[in-house]
Amino acid sequence: MLLAIALIFVLFAGGFSIKRSDLTPVFAPTMTLATSIGKLADLLGLSFKEKPKNKQKMELVTVHDTNYELIELFIDPDLFSSSASLASLELPSDVSVTMIARKDKIIAPRGNTVLKPGVILTILVEEDKIGSITESILARFETGTSKEAAHAAQLS
């Protein structure tokens, strides 16, 4: 980002025949602001962590039209602190956890599989039930006390 800002200043100065020395009073404060904006966003609780990318992918390929979707649900360790067994989720018979990814490992779903914060669940679910199933699963995990959870509680 800093390189991009520096490049913009150089191009700006060259394109408008402005001496680089004339930009010095503007350049230094801009660079200082650019390096501190991320830290400020963290302090104010405005930044967010990107969901980890699942290196393993499943794809639903059907011959006929279907109203089922494969979704990924990340159990964020910054928001949830407890574990739950797959059986304790009490999913309806038309919903299936098809894969569990923990770090770089694939875990075959079984009823006694313990789901800990940090896992990514791949779930086969009807399109119109995605919201309710997601809420139902997340409700099985206790909310943590991290700053993100506290910030989320303040927003609701």
Q: What is the pLDDT of residues 44-80, one digit of tens each?
A: 766 656 666 666 777 777 788 889 999 999 999 888 8
Q: Name the residue type at position 129.
A: K
pTM, full prediction: 0.59
pLDDT confidence of residue 69? 92
The backbone torsions φ and ψ at residue 60, rounded to the nearest 5 degrees and listed phi first, read -95, 115
pLDDT attached to residue 51: 63
Domain 68-155: give its CATH architecture.
2-Layer Sandwich (3.30)
Which residues of the chain form CATH 3.30.70.1450? 68-155
* Alpha-carbon span 71 to 117, nearest angstrom: 17
- In sequence order, what are the beta bridge partners of 97? 123
pLDDT digits (tens, 9 = 90+) for 102-155: 888 999 999 899 999 999 999 999 999 999 999 999 998 877 654 444 444 444
What pLDDT score was predicted for residue 128? 95
